[in-house]
Amino acid sequence: MESSIQEQLLIFESFCHTIDIPMKGLNYIGITLIPPKSLDAFLTVIGDGSEYADLRKLLIDAMSRNKYVIHYGL
């Protein structure tokens, strides 16, 4: 059985609102800080579908510059 993207995203390390609060995956009702070391795992999960082309570009750019990505939930 294939797992959903939300389930697969639980594999990478991230932070909730601040780097003092580690978590796994995305915070859907707040801010998630995705560190550079987790971006490759994130890219693997989203694959190469055209619906994620812009996100993929952003993640690759952040990786190349060793930057965090900020995910804003609801």
* pLDDT score, position 5: 81
Domain count, the chain: 1
**Which amino acid type is present at position 53?**
A
The answer for 17, left when phi > 0, alpha when psi is -120 to 50, beta otherwise, is left
- pLDDT value at residue 1: 46
Per-residue pLDDT of the chain (74 residues; tens, 9 = 90+): 457 888 888 889 999 999 999 999 999 999 999 999 999 999 999 989 899 999 999 999 999 999 999 999 98
Question: Alpha carbon 18 to chain centroid distance?
Answer: 15
Determine the structural domain holding residue 56 and report its residue range. Answer: 5-72
- Sequence-ordered alpha helix ranges (H) in 1-74: 5-8, 39-46, 53-64
Closest by CA position to 71, among listed 44, 50, 38: 38
pLDDT at 2: 56
